[in-house]
Structures are given as C-alpha cells and as structure tokens.
Amino acid sequence: MGTNIEHDESGFTCECGLRNDYPNYVQAHWSVKLAYTCACHRQYILYKGTVVKTSRETPEVYDSEAFGD
C-alpha cells in the first residue's frame, strides 16, 4: 500500500516530489533491473518502465494505524 510512483517512459517522480529523468543507461538497459537513487536517497528499482520503491536502508513504519488514539 502507499506505493504509487508516478512514472512515464522518460522518468518518474520520487515521493519527495523531485522529477527524475532517466539517464541514458536506463533506456539502454530497459529489461534489466536497475537500482536508482534519488537525490533524497530514496532508492528505486527500475525495470521495463516500472518503478518500485525499495526500503533497504530505512524500513518504513507500516503500522500507521497505531497512530491516533
């Protein structure tokens, strides 16, 4: 849940709001899984035009329902 990365053929928008245009090697390795790190240090896997956020460094807090009362 919560992973909804806006992307298109030429780039994607990070959760931090920064637009990342794919460098040339992404097009050259379209069918290879590539790790891509935004300037904010969030890390993504690019693969055949899909963008999947990885959370290797900072485990996200999943249990958001714990907040509140």
The residues that touch Zn ion, with contacts defined as CB under 5 A, are 14, 16, 18, 38, 40, 42
d(CA 54, CA 41): 11
CB nearer Zn ion, residue 18 or residue 31: 18
Query: Shortest distance, CB of residue 7 to Zn ion, whole angstroms?
Result: 13
d(CA 10, CA 17): 16
CB nearer Zn ion, residue 18 or residue 32: 18
Query: Shortest distance, CB of residue 38 to Zn ion, whole angstroms?
Result: 3
d(CA 13, CA 21): 9
